[in-house]
Chains A and B, each alone.
Chain A
Amino acid sequence: MPWFSKQKKVKARESTPAAPPPPPAKGEGIWHKCEGCESVVARAELEREWNVCPSCGQHEALPIRRRFELVLDPGSFEELDADLTPQDPLGFVDAKKYRDRLKGTYKNTGLRDAFISGVGSIAGQQVSIGSFAFEFMGGSMGSVVGEKVTRVFDRAFERRLPAIVFSSTGGARMQEGIFSLMQMAKTSAALHRFRAVRKPYVSVMLHPTTGGVAASFAWLGDVVIAEPKALIGFAGPRVIEQTIREKLPPGFQRSEFLLEHGMIDAIVHRHDMRDRLGQLLSLLG
């Protein structure tokens, strides 16, 4: 086993929204070098800290299953809609066929698509909950993701539950073209229907949340919170730089920047996420 993993490191200041590293895989080192402060920590310790660097507090990517462990009461999660499987309506081909890309990603991640959802409880309070898996094609939203998000709101509507969605995504999935775009409308319409039951919808934005997801249900939370230093915005930094032909200011589009501009409600440390969500649910739910 190598001492250090060979994952590509993504610095917080790097301007592409491209990526928390993939989930631990074969060949993962037992030591980990922090992306933020470059200090070295045992991987087991990092994992105990929910992938938050013990030295500098850098929030590194958390594999999707652990997200539910982090916030839900132990054993309370019941996954639903796990059988939804993506198709290839356009017959899309770039360097690879979309079909093959889907198969390959399924093999590498064990996920059928970039979203897991179901019901669970936080401090005893039932919630309809879902989370993006950035490790699946950059957390991009195609028909399956859009349908699962829609069902999070549908279930919350039918069972009169609060809804919680964790987003971590580059936006709509190009490989499903117009269908991906229309998921923005579909999810937002379902969310609107859910509003009638007067239960809170909390949107949690993780690193990164951009494009068509930011520009639909993710920014429509009754409460919108973010993890520290997450990159959040409509256009990715590379696109903006190309358009205005200027370097972007430091910290641009980060959680702290958005909070300063009044665009989100709170920044919550990962270790406090469960308690803070529980607090919100008891105040609003």
Chain B
Amino acid sequence: MTKPAHALDFERPLIALESKIAELKELSGGARVDFTDEIQKLEKKAKRLQAEIFSELSPWQTVQLARHPNRPYTLDYLGRLFTDFFELEGDRRFAADRAIVAGFARFDGEPVLVMGHQKGRGTKENMLRNFGMPRPEGYRKARRLFDLAERFRRPVIIFIDTPGAYPGIGAEERGQAEAIATNLEVMSSLSVPSISVVIGEGASGGALGLGVTNRILMLQYAWYNVISPESCSSILYRDSTQGKKSAEALKLTAKDLAGFGITDEIIPEPEGGAHRDHDLAAENVRGAIRRHLAELEKLSPEQLVVDRYKKFRAMGVFTTEE
């Protein structure tokens, strides 16, 4: 395993132990001293430690994992799960938006529309990707491709991973809210199967603008909510550093959402999080998409619209009282 470039606070004891093991292994390689026993002991200990840390993750720690800079992004899944990808970048209105990647490709050999929010690694790429925060152009590109998917009868597979739609002057001038709103309606009307997978952060309307799908899947350490914990605390407490408190109050983990009946499946991540093993994370996602797609493909176009409508129509908690 390659040494992670970035370690979260709660990962540190584990990473320290692992680098010690790696050191001993290197010394053993010289073959003058045998550390096999020692190594085995430490490896056991590391496994125990990992299980311990990850068995009791707080919501805030989950949010941090979802934002881990080594976490696989949309393109990391795209490269592993799809073949024959043809990226389509045009919104035909104003500009290309690299915070959303989209195009047609094959999944298990079958042509599909695949798209997702795309974050960058490092400053330069993050500038290009705008930290995964789309402008109206990104949503309008998506909308155009939804129309194509509908016309050519291609299933739609979406990866959600955004800190939110971009709040900027230009974005407002060009109708950020209208662009998202239109996607909600267009996605609700598709008569082809649609599946979204929240792979990291699912923040607010910027996430939902690609998320009105027949199935909603979530990676184990992803989060999805109406607002980011920091923005929530900045409104409630006028203090954006209280994210930890808000993360708990908002109930934003995959487990919470499964309990509420919002997500259809939690996709397990590799031990220690998806960032520790991109290949295994992608395999788990492949299995889940394959299963849900097979189920949805049994439905007629009309049934797919009704299935999705009923799913969202039922969301909400209230009573009727006189």
Contact = CB atoms under 8 A, between A and B. Distances in A.
Q: Do A and B come from one complex?
A: yes
Interface of A: 83-87, 89-90, 92-95, 142-144, 146-147, 150, 172-174, 176-186, 188-193, 210-212, 214-220, 233-235, 239-240, 243-244, 248-249, 252-253, 261, 263
A174 B245 CA distance: 13
A230 to B, nearest CB: 13
Interface of B: 165-169, 171-178, 180-182, 184-185, 188-189, 204-205, 208-209, 211-212, 224-227, 231-232, 235-237, 249-252, 256-257, 260, 262, 308-309, 312-313, 315-322
A212 B204 contact: yes
Contacts of A252: 169, 172
Given A89-B260, A174-B232, 9 more contacts: A84-B319, A86-B318, A178-B257, A185-B211, A186-B316, A215-B165, A217-B181, A234-B165, A235-B171
Given A185-B211, A188-B185, A188-B188, A180 B226 contact: yes
B99 to A, nearest CB: 14
A248 B309 CA distance: 39
A215 B256 CA distance: 25
Contact of A216 (B181, B235, B322): B181
A87 B205 contact: no
6 A-B pairs with the lowest CB-CB distances in the bound complex, closest first: A235-B167, A143-B316, A189-B188, A188-B184, A234-B177, A181-B226
A89 to B, nearest CB: 4
A240 B224 CA distance: 22
A212 B205 CA distance: 6
B249 A83 contact: no
16 contacts: A85-B320, A85-B321, A144-B316, A144-B318, A176-B226, A178-B252, A179-B317, A188-B188, A214-B181, A215-B176, A215-B177, A234-B167, A235-B165, A244-B169, A252-B169, A253-B172
B251 A90 contact: yes
Nearest to A182: B315
B301 to A, nearest CB: 15
Nearest to B178: A219
Nearest to B248: A93
A270 B256 CA distance: 44
B174 A83 contact: no
A181 B188 CA distance: 15
Contacts of A189: 184-185, 188, 212, 308-309, 312-313
B181 A240 contact: no
A89 B317 contact: yes
A176 B226 CA distance: 8
B96 to A, nearest CB: 20
B315 A94 contact: no
A178 B189 contact: no
B252 to A, nearest CB: 7
Contacts of A177: 225-226, 250-252
B231 to A, nearest CB: 7
Given A144-B318, A189-B312, A263 B181 contact: no
A234 B172 contact: yes
